[in-house]
Amino acid sequence: MDRAAGLPSRSAELSPHDSQIDLGADGHSVSELLMSPIARHITALMLALTLGLHWTVLQSVAWMTMLVNYSTETSFSDAVEMTFDGQHPCKLCIAVAEGKKTERREALLKSFAKADWVLSSDVVCLTRPPATRLAMTHVATPLPLRSPPPLPPPRLLHG
């Protein structure tokens, strides 16, 4: 960008080796700007949320907290058993289970909404059309193979 006039620089062009657009004097390409460290972290976070990894992180935090809390009251082996037996859930474990259940229910409702057209009450019946025979009224006899072409050759009539 021409800093004095605030106009785009004429040096913006495609790089021959990777089809990146050079933005000008600073030498940064579009892909370099898009994949800055902040953009990469945001992309990774969005992917993790999309895959449901936030529930895994929360459940891991809950288990570690339970393990620490139970190990202060009992032996470490008893703390591990109490943490993972499912009989002694903490508040965070219950919240994670409810969140997963709600998320599954919403996904199921969305899939039913998408498949609503399949479950419509209209019945479509496809039948084969009736077979018809084509009657040939005139059978053309082919010309003998050894006959010469017609002379003179046919001409296009203008008319």
Which residue in the block uniquely carries the two structure tokens 């570690």?
A: 64
Residue 93 CB partners (closer than 8 Å, separation 6+): 59, 62, 63, 66
In a domain, 88, yes or no: yes
In a domain, 17, yes or no: yes
In a domain, 64, yes or no: yes
Question: Do residues 45 and 54 touch, judged by C-beta distance below 8 A?
Answer: no
Q: Which tops the pLDDT comparison, 96 or 131?
A: 96
* Whether residues 62 and 97 fall in one domain: yes
- pLDDT computed for residue 8 by the predictor: 47
In a domain, 97, yes or no: yes
* Whether residues 46 and 67 fall in one domain: no
* Whether residues 71 and 45 fall in one domain: no
* Whether residues 98 and 62 fall in one domain: yes
What does 67-121 look like in DSSP terms, one character per residue?
HHHHHHHS-HHHHHHHHHSSSS--HHHHHHHHHHHHHHHHHHHHHHHHTTTTT-S
Query: Which tens digits make up the pLDDT trace of 8-54?
Result: 444 444 444 545 555 555 566 666 666 788 888 888 888 888 888 88
Beta bridge partners of 22: 29
Query: Which tens digits make up the pLDDT trace of 83-95?
Result: 999 898 999 999 9
Q: Does pLDDT of 6 surpass 70?
A: no
Q: How far apart are CA 72 and CA 109, in angstroms?
A: 44
Q: Which domain holds residue 42?
A: 9-51
In a domain, 124, yes or no: no
* Whether residues 40 and 16 fall in one domain: yes
What does 26-39 look like in DSSP terms, one character per residue?
T--BHHHHHTSHHH
- pLDDT computed for residue 30 by the predictor: 62
* Whether residues 84 and 41 fall in one domain: no
Mark which of 91, 110, 129 sits at the end of a domain: 110
In a domain, 62, yes or no: yes
Q: How far apart are CA 63 and CA 78, in angstroms?
A: 14
Q: How far apart are the first and last CA of the chain?
A: 67
* Whether residues 30 and 67 fall in one domain: no
Query: Which tens digits make up the pLDDT trace of 49-85?
Result: 888 888 899 999 999 999 999 999 999 999 999 999 9
Q: How far apart are CA 66 and CA 88, in angstroms?
A: 9
What domain count does the chain have? 2
Provide the mean pLDDT of the chain. 75
In a domain, 129, yes or no: no
Q: Which tops the pLDDT comparison, 140 or 1?
A: 140
